[in-house]
Amino acid sequence: MVDVVRLSQIDETSRGDHYHLTAEDRCYYLYEYTSHRDYSFSATNQLISNLKKKPSQADQPHYWYKGQAIGTCGRALGAALNPAWLGIATLVPVPGSKATDHPDYDDRMERICRLMRQPAPDVRALVRQAASTTASHEAGQGDRVTVEDLLDLYAIDETIAAPAPQTIGIVDDVLTAGTHYRAMHTALAARFPNVPIIGLFVARRVFPDDPLAFGGL
Amino acid sequence: MRLALNDSGPALAPISPRRELGAYEALWLEKGATFKTLADRFALDAEALPSDFVPAQLAEQCAAEVMAKLKKAGVHQFGVRIHHAGDYPAKLRDARHPVELLYYRGAWEITETRCVAVVGSREASPDGIRRAERLARELVDRDFTVVSGLAKGVDSAAHRGAIARGGRTISVVGTPLGSCYPKENADLQEVIARDHLLISQVPVLRYAKQAPQHNRLFFPERNVTMSALTEGTIIVEAGDTSGTLTQARAALHQGRKLFILDNCFQRTDITWPARFEAEGAVRVKTPDDIWSALG
């Protein structure tokens, strides 16, 4: 495991930064992404910035980095996961903010999931989003989508719901408030009761002046 | 093979920052624990985490104590970096006794920039202070981050020079977060923690429990980390028994560049400059000797 970054678990020291998460949620992340700073701030900010490049920019030279970032994230997450778990898990990518008919529809999380092992694990976009929303990282403070908004938009894709998953990993790039995770968890738990669900994130968001709110406990 | 690796859970040996923080502090409370004994222990199992050696309940108890102590000391926000977790700088592994866990306040990402340490005597001469400030300014102008301790004299001058020039600075301290030595640098430490980066590898509970004379041993160890974090160390001035020389030895051992200002060679009361030059240190007659070596 030399050079393999292990997953860190959201615990009492970091849960407050992601206020939609509860003590029962099992969420794991690899890195910390610093909010309100640009891509040049850190290697993780650069990785996430490359990952979020818009598909409508696919004809531009810098778009090449998106593919690189997808590969990096898929390999890093795959190496940090228990192969026995990955062998039986169903990975469910969080849908991008744009619906499939939008020019910026982005399947980056699905591609990351497929790269986590060879042969590819069971990756199913079980949660579909009916309409586009503003991406969280582009939304103003008051415009952010809520858990309820998302639950209205989310629907289980019944065409791929069988066989029922044994265990589910919800996969996303950045854990911010936990809004998408909470909505995904609610939708999936309602459809597949008693199936264990975890969250897997490339990075969790921290604020530049608020690393880990350890003292706030 | 440890239990964690046999876990049927989703992640391989996942890391809980709170549990590791508590376990690391518990290891430091064991009799005779030093950076060397801890490093030797982890060297036997390159994949071990502190929690592999400590009962969960003890780790939790220590974590709670650390939180309470730091909060009481006015530290309301801080982070940790843990070996094997994301954002732990691989360059720290070049230290002879690499640390498994660090505390910090401020912007950790500054460690990813090009860093150079400026260090020297606590009882610095006026010329030493002037040189440290000038070097810090020149490093900032070349987009390097200045790294130093928080001692009186050269260290403080380097930080102040970098801050005044609008640059970045990292302070690696020999006290836990929430303590400051010397007291007169408390304001400077706070500015660095708020606007730059303050790093401590000193265990909070052990420091609180042992006598001050034993806590002095943490100071030379932070010099080793300071060197590991940087591309090179510039020694402005230092006596034959200075803690700065710990950093000089560490820099050479770690394959970092070691720069010694020419004025050190001109002194007749010390012998270390020639000794380190023979081992590969660069004698700095003009600042260009530094810039050309750093590339």
**What integer pLDDT is reported at residue A179 of this predicted model?**
96
Per cent of chain B over pLDDT 90 is 93
Calculate how close chain B gets to A36, using CA atoms only, in Å: 12
Let me know if residue A155 belongs to a domain: yes
Determine, yes or no, domain membership for A153.
yes
Average confidence (pLDDT) over A197-214: 78
**B20, B26 in Cβ contact below 8 A?**
no
Q: Give residue B83's pLDDT.
A: 97
> At residue A8, what are phi and psi to the nearest 5 degrees?
-100, 150
Helix, strand, or coil here: B104?
Answer: strand
Residue whose tokens read 């970054």: A5
Q: Which residues pair with A91 in a beta bridge?
A: A123, A169
> For B176-214, b where at least 16 C-beta lie within 10 A, e where not — what string?
bbbbbbeeebeebbebbbeebbbbbbbbbbbbeeeeeee
Is A215 part of a structural domain of the chain? no
Q: What integer best gives the mean pLDDT of chain A?
A: 89
CA B12 to CA A82: how far, in whole Å? 5
CA dist A70 to A82, A199, A202, Å? 20, 18, 10
Tell me which residue range forms the domain holding A162. Answer: 8-206
- Which of the 8 DSSP states describes residue B281? P
Q: What is the CATH number of the domain that holds A174?
A: 3.40.50
Q: What is the pLDDT of residue A211?
A: 47
Nearest chain A residue to B4, by CA:
A82
Mean pLDDT to the nearest integer, A99-125: 93
Is position A80 within any domain?
A: yes
- Tell me the residue type at A191: R
Rounded distance, CA A119 to CA A104, Å?
28
- Candidate from A144-148, A159-163, A169-173, B104-108 with smallest mean pLDDT: A144-148
What is the nearest CA distance from B182 to chain A, expressed in angstroms?
24
Asked whether B119 and B235 are in contact (CB, 8 A), the reply is yes
CB contacts under 8 A, B 33-62 vs A, are 46-47
- Residue A2: the pLDDT is 46
Structural domain count of chain A: 1
A3 occurs within a structural domain: no
Closest residue in B to A38 (Cα) is B109
When pLDDT is averaged across residues B112-123 and rounded to a whole number, the result is 95
In contact, A19 and A177? CB cutoff 8 Å: yes
SS (H, E, C) chain A: CCCCCECEECCCCCHHHCCCCCCCCCEEEEEEEECCCCHHHCHHHHHHHHHCCCHHHCCCHHHHHHHHHHHHHHHHHHHHECHHHHHHEEEEECCCCCCCCCCCCCCHHHHHHHCCCCCCCEECCCEEECCCCCCHHHCCHHHCCCHHHHHHHEEECHHHCCCCCCEEEEEEEEECCCHHHHHHHHHHHHHCCCCCEEEEEEEEEEECCECCEHHHC
Q: Please name the residue of chain B whose CA is at the shortest distance from the CA of residue A13.
A: B18
Inside any domain, residue A214: no
Contact A84 B13 (CB under 8 A): no
Which of B13, B18, B46 has the CB atom closest to A6's CB atom?
B13
**Average of per-residue pLDDT values in chain B:** 94
For an interface test with B, give the residue of A30, A82, A175, A210 to mutate (most B CBs within 10 A): A82
Of residues B213, B269, B274, B267, the one with CA closest to residue B248: B274
Q: Is the confidence metric ipTM above 0.90 for this complex?
A: no
* A112 in Cβ contact with A70 (< 8 Å): yes
Instruction: State the amino acid at position A140 in one-letter form.
Output: G
Least confident of A122-136, A152-166, B78-92: A122-136
What pTM does this model have? 0.91
Q: Which amino acid is at A85?
A: W
Domain-embedded: residue A62: yes
Is residue A125, in this structure, part of any structural domain at all?
Answer: yes
Q: What is the mean pLDDT of residues A151-169?
A: 96
What are the φ and ψ backbone dihedral angles of B192, each rounded to 5 degrees? -65, -40
Is the torsion defined by CA of A138, A143, A145, A147 positive or negative?
Answer: positive
B128-174 tens-digit pLDDT? 999 999 999 999 999 999 999 999 999 999 999 999 999 999 999 99
